[in-house]
């Protein structure tokens, strides 16, 4: 079984902030989860490098678009490596192989009559790289980002999206393509109001893929960028890989780019006679007050700063735990610290710490094989079942809630059995069961906070690597003899 997951390609005009890391960490968590279920996973991410916005940003910095792209795509790649992102391929739209695919697709649609020459007369928002009709011609503000748009009038090649509107509507109505559910009606309403054919070339933008037409145009940056999801897995150049992974299973995007992904993208696929992805899931925004966190608003929250202060896994955990995926969420330092101290320090960290402390003091650091308590085992299995369901539904916060049910269960078990009492005569049995539960907790945590999972594994004295395990190991017995290693505080308390 295969699982193909993608993130949007990030614009390289600015440095990454917490909003960009959000989509990527979410995708990484799903990729790791499916690997642990035994799937053959392909995880694609990368950078979107062409277009007017990038060339204007480069000009401002006094460098060429190529230089800006090289510099900032490296920043993204390095950050993904620092964030422990297990991508299979990092694609850049400036790569030759991608450019060739885009040109071939363009030619194919031209031959088919799905691209035709016309005249675009309207407005363009450079920030959103999007064509719009303003509500008020005297004050042409972009309906999305509210910036002033520029008027353009130029010959252009149009994509006959109107031809596919009916098929697209039917597909959306009869499938689970659009997630979360409440987005489905939003998109269907847009389709029902009528789709206008979209322009796919720019006449005066040099920084882009040249269109295979007699005129020297460049291909519209969104048309170019969307095709990465095909070119990144071999479309028209590596049939073996492409047929293994296409169609995509999950495409994660932010809610600001649903029109491109839920309407234009599947229409292009229909035109190419390719199957449509299984799911396109749009998450919400991280906001501060009323404002989306963004470089242009000047309210960015730096991932590096939070990681320096709290550690990488605390950062990964917070993003996916704090708000339901799909909704907007308010960021605050206070909420971060609160979540950190309560969930990671008090619940998880304390469970591991006091258990290993007891193994050291009461059992000289060695746990011997014992019988598993069937009730505890049954509850663990039930928790795992819901956890798996929730992650398959892409509900990270609820999956994490399930893990924390297990953590509380183990903390309660320890409190009730109180192996520290002088009169206690089955200390090994009690601690065996708690340690076994912590081992299972580490497995469930692995997709979310992999380094912590490895640390817990080592502290318990387990020899192998939890990241290479399958979830079938949940509920399995511990090795016959387990020697815990030196204790390490997983999450130091923050004042
Ligand atoms: N380049 C296009 C995507 C092309 S995909 C073929 C683009 N890039 S982006 O860099 O502007 O945004 C990439 C992703 O980051 C989007 O999914 C967007 O929603 C997400 N985020 C950027 N700021 C965000 C927040 N403040 N909060 C959550 N995610 C947001 O769009």
394: left (phi over 0), alpha (psi -120 to 50) or beta: left
Q: Whose CA is nearest to atom 30 of ligand 1?
A: 19
134 pLDDT above the threshold of 90: no
Tokens 């497995």 belong to: 443
Per DSSP (E only), the strands in 309-413 are 329-330, 366-368
**Residue 414 domain-assigned (yes or no):** yes
Residues 6+ apart with CB under 8 A from 340: 310, 314, 318, 491, 494
Q: State mean pLDDT over 234-257.
A: 98
Per-residue confidence band for 416, with pLDDT thresholds at 50, 70 and 90: very high
**Residue 443 domain-assigned (yes or no):** yes
294 lines ligand 1 (CB under 6 A): yes
Please give the pLDDT value at position 188.
Answer: 97
Pocket test for ligand 1, best of 5, 6, 7, 8 (most atoms within 8 A of CB): 8
- Which residue, 150, 158, 153, 145, is CA-closest to 124? 150
- Which residue, 32, 22, 51, is CA-closest to 226? 51
Q: Are 32 and 446 in contact (CB under 8 A)?
A: yes
Q: Are 380 and 474 in contact (CB under 8 A)?
A: yes
Q: Are 252 and 279 in contact (CB under 8 A)?
A: no
- The domain spanning residue 434 has which CATH number? 1.10.730.10
| Each residue's pLDDT tens digit, 168-184 | 999 999 999 999 999 99
pLDDT, averaged across the chain = 96
Question: Could you check whether the bond before residue 329 is cis, i.e. omega within 30 degrees of 0?
Answer: no
Q: Which is the closest atom of ligand 1 to the Cα of 10?
A: 10
Q: Whose CA is nearest to atom 9 of ligand 1?
A: 10
Q: Whose CA is nearest to atom 12 of ligand 1?
A: 10
Q: State mean pLDDT over 211-221.
A: 97
Please give the pLDDT value at position 486.
Answer: 77
Measured in Å, residue 294 CA sits from the centre of ligand 1 at: 10
Q: Whose CA is nearest to atom 13 of ligand 1?
A: 10
Measured in Å, residue 407 CA sits from the centre of ligand 1 at: 34
Q: Are 347 and 407 in contact (CB under 8 A)?
A: yes
Please give the pLDDT value at position 388.
Answer: 98
Q: State mean pLDDT over 362-385.
A: 97
Measured in Å, residue 348 CA sits from the centre of ligand 1 at: 32
6 lines ligand 1 (CB under 6 A): no
Measured in Å, residue 489 CA sits from the centre of ligand 1 at: 35
Between CA 65 and CA 58 the distance in angstroms is 5
Q: Whose CA is nearest to atom 8 of ligand 1?
A: 10
Between CA 437 and CA 433 the distance in angstroms is 6
Find the angle CA(312)-CA(316)-CA(318) to the nearest 5 degrees: 115
Tokens 């893929």 belong to: 209
Question: Total structural domains in the chain?
Answer: 1
422 pLDDT above the threshold of 90: no
Measured in degrees and rounded to the nearest 5, phi and psi for residue 327 equal -100, 160
Q: State mean pLDDT over 226-240.
A: 98
**Residue 210 domain-assigned (yes or no):** no
296 pLDDT above the threshold of 80: no
Between CA 314 and CA 345 the distance in angstroms is 10
Q: Are 202 and 52 in contact (CB under 8 A)?
A: yes
292 lines ligand 1 (CB under 6 A): yes
285 lines ligand 1 (CB under 6 A): yes
- Which residue, 124, 147, 108, is CA-closest to 51? 124
pTM above 0.95, yes or no: yes
Q: Which domain holds residue 435?
A: 339-483
Measured in Å, residue 10 CA sits from the centre of ligand 1 at: 6
Q: Are 353 and 411 in contact (CB under 8 A)?
A: no
Q: Are 21 and 303 in contact (CB under 8 A)?
A: yes
Q: Which residues pair with 453 in a beta bridge?
A: none
**Residue 442 domain-assigned (yes or no):** yes
Tokens 């550690």 belong to: 311
Q: Which is the closest atom of ligand 1 to the Cα of 287?
A: 26
Per-residue confidence band for 132, with pLDDT thresholds at 50, 70 and 90: confident
Between CA 152 and CA 452 the distance in angstroms is 53
Per-residue confidence band for 145, with pLDDT thresholds at 50, 70 and 90: confident
| Each residue's pLDDT tens digit, 444-467 | 999 999 999 999 999 999 999 999
Measured in Å, residue 157 CA sits from the centre of ligand 1 at: 26
Please give the pLDDT value at position 398.
Answer: 98
Per-residue confidence band for 92, with pLDDT thresholds at 50, 70 and 90: very high
286 pLDDT above the threshold of 90: yes
144 pLDDT above the threshold of 90: no
Query: What is 148-199 written as a DSSP string?
Result: BPEEEEEEEEEE-GGGGHHHHHHHHHTSS-EESHHHHHHHHHHHHT-PPPEE
Q: State mean pLDDT over 429-441.
A: 98
**Residue 425 domain-assigned (yes or no):** yes
Q: State mean pLDDT over 136-142.
A: 88
- Which residue, 221, 256, 261, 13, is CA-closest to 143? 256
Q: Which is the closest atom of ligand 1 to the Cα of 284?
A: 28
Please give the pLDDT value at position 137.
Answer: 83
Pocket test for ligand 1, best of 129, 222, 256, 280 (most atoms within 8 A of CB): 256
Per-residue confidence band for 14, with pLDDT thresholds at 50, 70 and 90: confident
DSSP letter (8 states) at residue 325: B
Residues 6+ apart with CB under 8 A from 298: none
Per DSSP (E only), the strands in 299-416 are 329-330, 366-368
DSSP letter (8 states) at residue 257: G
**Residue 447 domain-assigned (yes or no):** yes
253 lines ligand 1 (CB under 6 A): yes
Measured in Å, residue 5 CA sits from the centre of ligand 1 at: 16
**Residue 247 domain-assigned (yes or no):** no
Q: Which is the closest atom of ligand 1 to the Cα of 11?
A: 10
Q: Whose CA is nearest to atom 22 of ligand 1?
A: 19
**Residue 240 domain-assigned (yes or no):** no
Please give the pLDDT value at position 272.
Answer: 98
Pocket test for ligand 1, best of 6, 15, 23, 57 (most atoms within 8 A of CB): 23
Please give the pLDDT value at position 300.
Answer: 85
Please give the pLDDT value at position 488.
Answer: 85
53 lines ligand 1 (CB under 6 A): no
225 lines ligand 1 (CB under 6 A): yes
Measured in Å, residue 280 CA sits from the centre of ligand 1 at: 14
The fraction of the chain above a pLDDT of 90, given in percent, is: 92
22 lines ligand 1 (CB under 6 A): yes
């Amino acid at each position: 079984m295969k699982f193909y997951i993608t993130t949007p390609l990030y614009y390289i005009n600015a440095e990454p902030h917490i909003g960009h890391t959000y989509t990527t960490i979410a995708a990484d968590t799903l990729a790791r989860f499916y690997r642990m279920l035994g799937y053959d996973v392909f995880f694609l991410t990368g950078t979107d490098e062409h277009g007017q916005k990038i060339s204007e940003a480069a000009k401002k910095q006094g460098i060429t678009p190529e230089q800006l792209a090289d510099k900032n795509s490296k920043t993204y790649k390095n950050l993904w490596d620092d964030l422990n992102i297990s991508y299979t391929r990092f694609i850049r739209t400036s790569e030759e192989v991608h450019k060739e695919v885009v040109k071939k697709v363009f030619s194919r649609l031209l031959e088919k009559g799905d691209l035709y020459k016309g005249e675009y007369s309207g407005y363009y928002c450079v920030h959103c790289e999007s064509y719009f009709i303003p509500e008020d011609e005297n004050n042409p503000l972009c309906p999305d980002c509210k910036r002033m748009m520029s008027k353009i009038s130029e010959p252009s090649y149009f994509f006959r999206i109107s031809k596919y509107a009916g098929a697209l509507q039917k597909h959306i109505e009869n499938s689970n393509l659009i997630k979360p559910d409440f987005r489905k009606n939003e998109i269907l309403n847009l389709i029902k109001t009528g789709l206008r054919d979209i322009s796919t070339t720019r006449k005066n933008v040099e920084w882009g893929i040249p269109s295979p037409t007699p005129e020297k145009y460049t291909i519209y940056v969104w048309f170019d960028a969307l095709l990465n999801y095909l070119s990144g897995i071999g479309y028209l150049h590596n049939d073996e890989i492409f047929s293994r992974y296409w169609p995509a299973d999950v495409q994660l995007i932010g809610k600001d780019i649903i029109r491109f992904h839920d309407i234009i993208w599947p229409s292009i696929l229909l035109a190419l006679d390719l199957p449509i992805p299984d799911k396109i899931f749009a998450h919400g925004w991280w906001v501060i007050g009323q404002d989306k966190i963004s470089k242009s608003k000047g309210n960015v929250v730096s991932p590096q700063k939070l990681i320096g202060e709290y550690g990488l896994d605390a950062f990964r955990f917070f993003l996916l735990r704090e708000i339901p995926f799909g909704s907007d969420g308010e960021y605050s330092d206070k909420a971060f610290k609160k979540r950190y101290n309560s969930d990671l320090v008090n619940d998880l960290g304390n469970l591991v710490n006091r258990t290993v402390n007891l193994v050291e003091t009461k059992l000289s650091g060695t746990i011997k094989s014992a019988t598993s308590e069937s009730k505890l085992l049954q509850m663990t299995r039930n928790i795992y079942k819901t956890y798996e369901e929730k992650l398959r539904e892409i509900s990270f916060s609820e999956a994490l809630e399930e893990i924390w049910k297990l953590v509380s269960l183990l903390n309660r078990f320890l409190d009730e059995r109180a192996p520290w009492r002088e009169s206690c005569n089955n200390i090994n049995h009690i601690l065996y069961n708690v340690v076994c539960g912590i081992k299972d907790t580490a497995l469930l945590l692995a997709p979310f906070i992999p380094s912590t999972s490895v640390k817990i594994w080592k502290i318990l004295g387990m020899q192998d690597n939890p990241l290479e395990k399958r979830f079938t190991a949940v509920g399995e017995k511990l090795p016959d003899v387990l020697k815990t290693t030196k204790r390490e505080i997983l999450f130091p308390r923050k004042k």
